[in-house]
Structure 1
Amino acid sequence: MSVDLGSEWMKVAIVKPGVPMEIVLNKYACVYKIRPFKVCLARGPISAAVLALKGRGEQSTGSALSSRNSEACGSNEITPRPGPGGCNEPISFTCTSHSVPIEKLLPLKVTMREKLPLLALFCLALALFPSPTASVAVMSVDLGSEWMKVAIVKPGVPMEIVLNKESRRKTPVAVCLKENERLFGDGAMGVSVKNPKVVYRYIQSLLGKTADNLQVEHYQKHFPEHQLVRDEKRGTVYFKYSEEMQYTPEEFLGMVLNYSRGLAEDFAEQIIKDVVITVPAFFNQAERRAVLQAAQMAGLKVLQLINDNTAVALNYGLFRRKDINATAQNVMFYDMGSGSATATIVTYQTVKTKEAGTQPQLQIRGVGFDRTLGGFEMELRLRDHLAKLFNEQKKSKKDIKENARAMAKLLKEAQRVKTVLSANAEHVAQIEGLMDDIDFKAKVSRAEFEALCSDLFDRVPVPVQQALTASEMSLDEIEQVILVGGATRVPRVQEVLLKATKKDELGKNINADEAAAMGAVYQAAALSKAFKVKPFLVRDAAIFPIQVEFSRETEEEEGAKGLKHNKRILFQRMAPYPQRKVITFNRYTDDFIFNINYGDLSFLSPDDQKMFGSVNLTTVKLSGVGESFKKHSDAESKGIKAHFNMDESGLLILDRVESVFETVVEEKEEESTLTKLGNTISSLFGGGSTEPAANVTEPVQDEEEVPPEAGKDQEEAVEKTDEAAQEQSDKEEKGQGEKSKEEPQTEEKKSDEGSDKEEPQAEKEPEGSEKSDEGKAAKEEEKEAEKKPKPQKKSKISVDIAVELEVNDVLNPSSEDIDISKKKLQDLTDRDLEKQEREKSLNSLEAFVFETQDKLYQDEYQAVVTEEEKEAISTKLSEASAWLDDEGYSAGTKELKEKLTELKKLCKAMFFRVDERKKWPERLAALDSMLNHSSMFLKGAKLISEDDQIFTEVELKTLERVINETMTWKNETVAEQEKRSPTEKPVLLSKDIEAKLSLLDREVTYLLNKAKFAKPKPKPKPKDKNSTSSENGKTNSTDSEKVIPPKDESNGAEEVKPAEEPPTEENKKEETETEPTIEEKTEETTGDDDSQAHIGDEL
């Protein structure tokens, strides 16, 4: 083996017969390198450049040194026997959390000469390598209206959907809040039928919404049992269950995200912090900020908010990477879930990148949506229909719609009936004890269901038309339409879609439920630094246009001043992101204000516009503009530049605002070559200053920007740039690069031409050497006059402008509000953990009482206790059982643990005696077997002849002494135990037997290893009779064999290998045509090499 020992990573390689050179995988079976490097020393010689950890149990390298190796990392209780190397003391190294004795891991030994260098080497290794293993697992949460799916990826585990506590692959987004209990998922849904007031669902529709939003009104209509109250500070709403229990939608979402992280951590068996969350593509800025705030309350680090349609498209493209080429392929994804419907047109094709070459890319070309079209609306229609049927049966005088509990039961039954009707023409809805102990039963057909939802089915094609309009495509350009989401399983939805898209069939070759979660977790792995994945470029699109609005004073003809309102589009509809934009204000010399708002939203329906919220995003107040102009009054102003960034999550960020000036820089006279070289060397050795100046001065560079004062033609050019931002940016970058390359080339060309013209003059100077110095000076002045004046060099000066932002759509919670929400959620989590701990203690106490009462009547326990002990134990158990029935269920965790500890202490002696008697047969049989094998080994070792003996007399006597002592101890202890009563404390203990076994095994293993690696002594061959000695001391022999040199002459060479065959033409040809491999070689020796072959055989 070999070990490539780096400062952070190590790589291990091996070669063995039949296996060529191969990198060794670590315990995760997918990672070729290990970090961190925790080393546990052990006795033994260490080969050069090889650090082999060959423990008898698990390896203890890297993160594998865990609790599973606690036995191997315990204290050293075995005194090592003296060996040939003279090492008499064990060496143990303290790793991060374990003190590891050497003997536990390697059956080797370290000599005193090797000990100090080894200690220095591994002290250095432990100082260099970090000990704690960083959390490398990442997760994704597909956050739907009704369900959520969680996926993870970690070393050794590819992309995988997380199972919840009920072993299901999806979990309801529901939170149940009682006074002393909190439930999630299926547990909360079970409570929703009994007490719907304490279960909160479909909270996603309230994120980032003000109290007057139409969607808040719809939510209150669907869930009248909840009390929504206006937040006077932010203008949003919060749920009020009581004066003590008041929670915002963001806090409920934070609870759900925290619960999803708990599921992922249980599945991954490690802490997870990084997450990618899916959101609907139609989420605006306020809604996206609300999701990030909820994740912050849950303590999660959001790597990205990815649109769910983009995540689905990414998952689809990942498994069809080979089918993607330079030809654009347009695919439509129609996603209808529980709460909304979205149609997305995606273009797949390969593109060339500077970093990774040609890679596949998906680009969102068009998106259409309906915020309220989904399976939940169909279920509500069916629920109301079932309520109508119940009222028509007139089994109760009360209206069922006034009973929230009965309506919750009908909604649950409507969900089941809708699912069944997708595969059946009719079905019977039935509920036992629907209201006032009255059973309900009614038949529902698919035709009735489709009639109830006819207006919903008419809205199904609308997102398709919106997506086509946004992408400026026709249906003929769409190659395939793929269904996503649970509601697309409704037959009528598929029929309408098939007719609207004019396709022969709809694609169902993707997991409609899990595609978004799997695509998001792949993106999480790509964004994480712990994983390396194949690049797949993603270019998302902003659905809602964003513009900048500002006003400035203008002079009219009569001299009066007017106010002109200007609008400049920052991001067009379907503009790709992530993307950066710069807008320049050229006519401001003092502090001013501008607004960031949404652009033209006329493509939205009237209801969507009411649900959208405020179209005003942010008011930006700039201060310090006038001061910058006063400070740089002698410089030319290039305007006030505002730098915007729409990041990967679709959030618009104002990075900075700067006032830019241009000034002329005086060029210094050209320095000599030696001076330049000296300055360069001095700067390399710290001569130059690295601290930036107060005002950064940079060379002027062309920058793509959105000019606010542009005319109509320029506006159209900007819009055109927004529509094809990627292609345009690539061309501009390429053009800038070519320009920067061409400019120095042009200068060089000019200088070369000048030098060519001057060369003849330089060559003529020696001919006119007789001329006077005055003539030469005149010529030089004429040359300087002929030189053309060089253009002035300009530099850019940037001054940062102070920015004050005022949010206009939905106010963000303050940092104090975030901290309060975090504490509120943490208190709930602590309460849940305390409740779980109490339930665990209560269950443990109950189980111990019942099990022990049963064991008292078993023969093996009755044999080891006296009647008095049995009576005392039985009495205490009866008292504990009675206490549990009366006071135990209200007792605290501490009291329950104390009761359990008291009972265990009372029964400890009885359990110990029974446990020892169970272990005796197996342990004694193992000891007898070890004694037999050790005796046979000792007998065989003594029969070895003196010339071939590899063991010393001390070693054989030591083994014999250990065998005799062990046998004597065993016979005496067993005899003593037989004299004792079963009710007394045993003298024969299993731990003592194990110690004797370990001692014998250590001695025998030491001798076996010595025999395994020992080399037989070479025997000198008798001289041949025909051999003669010459005067010069050389020996001539008639045979081809040579005499082995004496021991003192060959001392220092471990092995003499036969000479290698000389290379032939055939061997050279094979070496050039085949890959390098390592094989077992057997070489044929010639007569000249017989002596060397003979020596090799002897060795």
Structure 2
Amino acid sequence: MNYKCISLCLAFVISTLFISLSDASLAAMSIDFGSQWIKMALVKPGMPMEMVLNEEARRKTPNLIIIKDNERLFGDAALAYSVKYSKNSFTHLMDLLGKKMDNPVVLLYKQRFPHLKFIVDGARNVVQFDVGGEIYSIESIVAMILRRCRELVENFAKQPVRDVVITVPVFFNQAERRALVAAAEIAELNLLQLLNDHTAAGLNYAAFRRKEITESVQTLLIYDVGATKVTASVLEYVLVDEKKRDEKNPVMTTLGVGYNRMVGGFEITQRLRDIFVNNFRKTKKTEIDITKNPRSMAKMLQEAERVKIVLSANVNFTAQIENLHEEHDFTMPVTRTMLEDAVRDLEVKLMQPIVDALKMADLLPEEVNQVVLMGGGSRVPLIQEFVQKFFKKKELGKFLNTDEAIAMGAVYQAAHLSKGFKVKRFDIRDLQIFPIQVDFVSAHSKDETGAGRLIHRPIYPMKSFIPASKKVLSFTSFTEDFSMNVNYGEMRELSADQLMEFGSLNISEIKIGGVTDVYVRETAKEGTIFKGIKTHFDLDNSGILHVDGAEMLLEQPSRAESTFASLAGKITGLFSTNNKIDETTEKNEEILESGKTNDKSYSTYSAGNQTKFEKPAGDNITSRQAEANRTTANVAEMKQEQKPQQIKISLKLMENILDVLPISDSEITVAKNRIAEFERREKEKAIREEAHHNLESLAVDLSDKLAQDEFNRFLTADEHITLQKEVSQVKAWLEDDVDINTPTAEFIENKRTIDELLRPVKVRMTEDQERPSVVGELISMFNHTEIFLHLAQNLTEAEVFTEVEINTLKNLLDGTRDWLTAKMELQNKLKPTDQPALPVSEGKEKLMSLDREVKYLLNKMKFAKPKVKKEEKAKETTAENDEILSETTEKPKTVSEEKSDEMSRDGQPLKDATDVKNKELKNGEQKDGATHDGSEL
């Protein structure tokens, strides 16, 4: 029984440890990586999906980083210094990922942020930043922000978190998606998926309205106005019956998408800032134009953002900036009409994504069931007016939380993809809106000029679903090394501007090597037939295309068929005497009969390639020939059933990226090391600042306390002088000598010196503060013990406590009371600086001893059984014996039973059953020393 209990305990401990360790690695998070704001969500065991709060307890964090003098600032801290360090502030970095320098989006970014120092990566032809002579790639800066997001989530979750789903705009192409994946790798995140932001928002909408989805198709249009983009997405929800599982689950399908990546809320802010700049130029005369001052322009931009938000709810407001430029203040009344007039020309650009989405979905505006607004820019009344007019007064839904919807939908997907969670099934079918095809020159087909004909093979056409199944492309005309290009197909749906913003239409060049060598080597073998070359393509759930490999397919005769041919030559001529027999017949007969154990005739194949036949009695040439003919027919049948053997030989594959070269492995390593170095310095700085703060707080606090009588009464004169001197020296040192280069150890050492001087003072203060409480508890314990003793002394008839136990408690109570009285008399005569006569620790020990003794007696009283008097016990025993005697008189006994009744436990005969019971009762009293209840007998 004990071993069983121990095993159960060990199993419980092991399972608990396993669960706790596994829980630490099961958490997952999502990052809504917007152009201007970042939102994060978390899911972990024991906690529902929820938004992550940053240090300021806010649900959204500015997507901003400042890098200056080997230090970094993120989020709200960076926003507070963005005006002061405008040349070192980097934001809206999503617009630069995976784009070449001549991309219109990059050119617009340089126009919006002219104060930043841009340089070109000569090898990749992409943007980089020069920060104090240090070169930073876009991927490395984005990785720093992602790493900071992970840190915020881990602080919120209080455990490590690596699994992540990151949301991206639906119009991100292959180069942009690869760049973000590289940034996640540098940040050491385990990327589960790049999820389109409209898909995340749609999933959030449906996951919490699951019961509203039925067999009837529902369509939803999500109109998202972000900082630097506008997207419109048409989604379809329907409940689908799964026959395999015999259940119905909801399915969300993206029907159509439209976008514009050159307008958004930031464009409106820019135009309002330009209004402020023009007004300042007209009203203020300056030596240098305000646009030449990055700090002043940053102030203007910040104020324009604030005024735009206010005008979304108010019709007028006053913009105010103190000391804007050359000691000039700026004040300007602004009305909503003024702002609307400045952006009214954007109506076409803002509404075109809705037109494109409906066209792709093949729907009319009135066929859309609901229109939902998303994004901070959708709060602008003029934009709502545009959408309302387009849908002819259809009610606009505003129930999706802009700050949460995408992050919460993405974390639902993260829980689904993570191994540690089980969520309700919700199928997602997203769209591949950019067709992908393979282009190659045919080895045989010629065009009208005589050159090889260019072949286009679509592998993932437009509107194919993500995730998609793997595709295999077969080539039967190539017997030498060849190459092919993976390109985007025709994109007629895109405008000319969108095609320029899209970038290169060529994705990669794939070279298949080793074809010639394998073909020559394998086809030289007898019976080998070349069947073609296969290449494997995969479009993963992040929308990124992968070339998984290439292989040559060959067909060879089966092994069994080869064995037949080999054995045929070895037995030729065995039956070539007076009567000729067909060689094939002999060969087939041998193979068919091989391995059989027939009593009449059998054949065996020896290791020496010799075939031995045993001739049965009465055999002749005619019978052998007939048997051979039958065997020939059977073997012919077997040959027809034999299938040729398929062989696959892997080929060399090399892929050259043609759109935007990915960041190299060496650059990734450099970026990781740089981030690690930043974090090391930041950790050292945090420790140093904490040590500085602790010392400074201690010095200021002690300086105040040394002037207070309540504190000084615990100090001797020498201690007061020493402490006063030390505090004065530390304060002077902090004010005069401490700078940014002061080592952390000096702060720690100075604090340790003051703590050593304060130690005896703190002991006295603690004794003085805690002593009254301990004395009060002792007095209260005395009262309770006296009451208990009085009750215990009145329980003599029940005999619960022995006299020794009562006397022990009484002596302990009297001794403790006398001790306290004597100690208090001595303590009252002492000064606060003297050694205490009544230490708090000693008082607590006395209290615990008394309390322990009382609890022991209370527990004994709780489980004690009341004793029954002997006279009553004897009467009950006699009545039971009479009843037993009457029962024995009624039942006849066997001989063995009579003998058993005549003998006692010591072998002596007893007169009757009453004597037996009385003897048992007597023995029981001697054994227990107390009477027993009648039921025990």
Give the shorter-chain TM-score range.
0.7 to 0.9
Tell me the residue number matched to 2:657.
807
Return the alpha-carbon distance in structure 2 between the equivalents of residues 795 and 996 of structure 1. 92
8 Å CA contact 1:209, 1:810 repeated in 2? yes
Tell me whether 1:655 sits opposite 2:548 in the alignment: yes
Q: Secondary structure at the match of 1:911?
A: helix
Alignment counterpart, residue 419 of structure 1, candidates 309, 333, 345: 309
Return the alpha-carbon distance in structure 2 between the equivalents of residues 987 and 427 of structure 1. 73
* Deviations, residues 277-333 of structure 1 (Å, cap 9, x unaligned): 111111111111111221222222112111111100000001211111222211110
8 Å CA contact 1:395, 1:438 repeated in 2? no
- The runs of 5 or more residues in structure 1 that have no matched partner are 1-47, 49-113, 669-773, 1037-1042, 1052-1093
Return the alpha-carbon distance in structure 2 between the equivalents of residues 1018 and 649 of structure 1. 84
8 Å CA contact 1:662, 1:795 repeated in 2? yes
Tell me the residue number matched to 2:136.
247
Tell me the residue number matched to 2:74.
184
Q: 1:1030 to 1:198 in 2, by over 3 A?
A: closer
8 Å CA contact 2:444, 2:477 repeated in 1? no
Alignment counterpart, residue 631 of structure 1, candidates 511, 514, 522: 522
Tell me the residue number matched to 2:348.
458
Return the alpha-carbon distance in structure 2 between the equivalents of residues 590 and 1015 of structure 1. 101
Q: 1:395 to 1:590 in 2, by over 3 A?
A: same
Structure 1 position 631, deviation (Å):
3.3
Return the alpha-carbon distance in structure 1 between the equivalents of residues 171 and 863 of structure 2. 73
Paired residues, number: 831
8 Å CA contact 1:666, 1:793 repeated in 2? no
Tell me whether 1:494 sits opposite 2:390 in the alignment: no
- The runs of 5 or more residues in structure 2 that have no matched partner are 562-621, 892-916, 926-932
Tell me the residue number matched to 2:611.
none
Q: 1:126 to 1:186 in 2, by over 3 A?
A: closer
Q: Secondary structure at the match of 2:397?
A: coil
- Give the partner amino acid of 2:248: T
Tell me the residue number matched to 2:904.
none
Tell me the residue number matched to 1:640.
533
8 Å CA contact 1:578, 1:645 repeated in 2? no
Q: Secondary structure at the match of 1:865?
A: coil
Q: 1:396 to 1:1035 in 2, by over 3 A?
A: farther
Structure 1 position 640, deviation (Å):
2.0
8 Å CA contact 2:446, 2:452 repeated in 1? no
Return the alpha-carbon distance in structure 1 between the equivalents of residues 793 and 842 of structure 2. 29
Q: Secondary structure at the match of 2:719?
A: helix
Q: Secondary structure at the match of 1:193?
A: coil
Aligned pairs for 1:643-1042 (under 5 A) are 643-663=536-556, 665=558, 791-793=641-643, 796-890=646-740, 891-934=742-785, 936-937=787-788, 940=791, 944=795, 949=800, 966-967=816-817, 970-971=820-821, 973-1005=823-855, 1008-1009=858-859, 1012=862, 1021-1024=876-879, 1027=882, 1030=885, 1033=888
Q: Secondary structure at the match of 1:263?
A: helix
Tell me the residue number matched to 2:578.
none
Return the alpha-carbon distance in structure 2 between the equivalents of residues 492 and 180 of structure 1. 44
Alignment counterpart, residue 609 of structure 1, candidates 481, 499, 511: 499
Q: 1:528 to 1:970 in 2, by over 3 A?
A: farther
Q: Secondary structure at the match of 2:78?
A: helix
Alignment counterpart, residue 582 of structure 1, candidates 465, 472, 492: 472
Return the alpha-carbon distance in structure 1 between the equivalents of residues 209 and 265 of structure 2. 30
Tell me whether 1:599 sits opposite 2:489 in the alignment: yes
Q: 1:1022 to 1:373 in 2, by over 3 A?
A: same
TM-score, normalised via structure 2 length = 0.81
Tell me the residue number matched to 2:232.
343
* Deviations, residues 563-585 of structure 1 (Å, cap 9, x unaligned): 12211111111210111222222
Tell me the residue number matched to 1:279.
168
Tell me the residue number matched to 2:209.
320
Alignment counterpart, residue 217 of structure 1, candidates 107, 118, 121: 107
Aligned pairs for 1:341-490 (under 5 A) are 341-353=230-242, 354=244, 357-490=247-380
Q: 1:985 to 1:596 in 2, by over 3 A?
A: farther
Structure 1 position 455, deviation (Å):
2.6
Q: Secondary structure at the match of 1:830?
A: helix
Tell me the residue number matched to 1:265.
154
Return the alpha-carbon distance in structure 2 between the equivalents of residues 470 and 143 of structure 1. 26
Q: Secondary structure at the match of 2:49?
A: strand
Q: Which moved more, 1:925-934 or 1:122-131?
A: 122-131
8 Å CA contact 2:443, 2:478 repeated in 1? no
Structure 1 position 146, deviation (Å):
0.7
Alignment counterpart, residue 236 of structure 1, candidates 113, 126, 130: 126
Return the alpha-carbon distance in structure 2 between the equivalents of residues 954 and 297 of structure 1. 77
8 Å CA contact 2:798, 2:866 repeated in 1? no
Between structure 1 and structure 2, the one with the greater Rg is: 2
Q: 1:962 to 1:472 in 2, by over 3 A?
A: farther
Q: 1:187 to 1:476 in 2, by over 3 A?
A: same
Q: Secondary structure at the match of 2:48?
A: strand
- Give the partner amino acid of 2:651: I
Q: 1:286 to 1:987 in 2, by over 3 A?
A: farther
Q: Secondary structure at the match of 1:888?
A: coil
8 Å CA contact 1:553, 1:562 repeated in 2? no
Return the alpha-carbon distance in structure 1 between the equivalents of residues 921 and 422 of structure 2. 58
- Give the partner amino acid of 1:984: D
Q: 1:857 to 1:583 in 2, by over 3 A?
A: same
Tell me the residue number matched to 1:227.
117
Return the alpha-carbon distance in structure 2 between the equivalents of residues 635 and 894 of structure 1. 78
Q: Secondary structure at the match of 1:194?
A: coil
Structure 1 position 1029, deviation (Å):
5.6
Q: Secondary structure at the match of 2:879?
A: coil
Q: Secondary structure at the match of 2:124?
A: coil
8 Å CA contact 2:443, 2:477 repeated in 1? no
Aligned pairs for 1:73-112 (under 5 A) are none
Return the alpha-carbon distance in structure 2 between the equivalents of residues 667 and 832 of structure 1. 71
Q: Secondary structure at the match of 1:570?
A: strand
**Higher RCO (C-alpha 8 Å, min separation 6):** 2
Structure 1 position 821, deviation (Å):
0.3
Q: 1:1023 to 1:846 in 2, by over 3 A?
A: same
Tell me the residue number matched to 1:511.
401
Q: 1:662 to 1:865 in 2, by over 3 A?
A: same
Tell me the residue number matched to 1:527.
417
Aligned pairs for 1:291-306 (under 5 A) are 291-306=180-195
CA RMSD of aligned residues (A): 3.7
Q: 1:999 to 1:287 in 2, by over 3 A?
A: farther
Q: Secondary structure at the match of 2:685?
A: helix
8 Å CA contact 1:339, 1:373 repeated in 2? yes
8 Å CA contact 2:198, 2:406 repeated in 1? yes
- Give the partner amino acid of 2:878: K
8 Å CA contact 1:368, 1:467 repeated in 2? yes
Q: 1:1034 to 1:265 in 2, by over 3 A?
A: farther
Q: Secondary structure at the match of 2:25?
A: coil
Q: Secondary structure at the match of 1:1033?
A: helix
Return the alpha-carbon distance in structure 2 between the equivalents of residues 190 and 861 of structure 1. 41
* Deviations, residues 868-921 of structure 1 (Å, cap 9, x unaligned): 221221121122112111113443221111111111111111111011110111
Structure 1 position 228, deviation (Å):
0.6
